[in-house]
Amino acid sequence: MILYIFIGVCLLIWLVEFLFRIPKISNLSNKYVLITGCDSGFGNELAIQLDGKGIHVIASCLTEKARNELGSSLSQRSSAILMNVADHGSVQEALNKVREIIPKSEGLWGLVNNAGIGGYGGAMEWWSRDEYKRVLDVNLFGLIDVTKVFTPMLKQGRGRIVNVASICGRVVIPEAGYCISKFGVECFSDEIRVQLKAFGISVCIIEPGFFRTSLTDGFFAPVRAKWAELSPETRQEFGGQEVLESRIARVSKSLDSLPSRDTGKVVNSMEHALTAKYPKKRYSVGYDAKLYFIPLSYMPSVVTDFLFRL
């Protein structure tokens, strides 16, 4: 009897929250949203999807080629601009461009910090300080810089910040730089969510599980290149070529089976964070995130250490 009551209460809570999250904000056609990292992947898909919903999208890309290709896919209400989030001068130039696009009477409704790069597989000793810094400059410090620069416009629009973290910001997958940066994104987001609430700004975190994107494709090329640079003594210390190929084969098998190709789940979560009247604070996206990594994040460290040694 107690079990049935417990299940009923859980279902009731789930239903109430589900209904609570359905209402959308009004006047979407008057909203301006800036998205970083729109060259490909989630950012590219989100820009096209929001543009199709009538929102004024300002999609930033790293390369001229990507900007031109995306710009041709957007309507006249939206724009594609250049921005390198790791370069403060480029971020300032993007700010000036956004100010030209958005009417002075309007503020910025949404900032989606999506730009990111992958880390490096292999042992910590293999990778230099500069290689760690390269990942952190884009994934963490770039995100912080963009947020700081555009916060005054967000205050004017009493808008929303959507930061794309990762399930790797909750559970560490051995990889140089990436998880460190995503743990930092989680921490920074929690910090500013409290600080900016007084200005009417909401902060949401997107935590995708493993999805097939440019970050998962070509994962092993840098590992093999770095392995070739190591001294024979170092390669032998880590088990030699046979051990490397064995580990690559095991990880490759996981990357072939684990990542979902339905990237629309992540994009829809981003859209909900921007358009829902009552958005969630965190969106854990994907069955692997919800059923494996989130529960795993609450496990004792000895459990996660054992699983990642397998």
Output the six-digit token pair for 62.
Answer: 């790293």
Instruction: Write b or e for each residue in 91-100: b if 16 or more Cβ atoms lie within 10 A of its Cβ, otherwise e.
Output: beebbebbee
Among 77, 67, 82, 68, smallest CA distance to 103 is for: 77
Alpha carbon distances (Å) from 94 to 78, 111, 139: 15, 13, 18
Place of tokens 């030209």: 100
C-beta of residue 177 within 8 angstroms of C-beta of residue 130: no
Output the six-digit token pair for 19.
Answer: 């209904």
What is d(CA 143, CA 82) in angstroms, rounded to the nearest whole number?
15
Output the six-digit token pair for 205.
Answer: 């975190």
Clarify whether 178 is annotated catalytic: yes
Catalytic site residue from 32, 120, 178, 283: 178
Bridging pattern class, strands 79-82 and 282-285: unpaired
Instruction: Write b or e for each residue in 130-156: b if 16 or more Cβ atoms lie within 10 A of its Cβ, otherwise e.
Output: eebebbbbbbbbbbbbbbebbbebbbb
- Active site members: 178
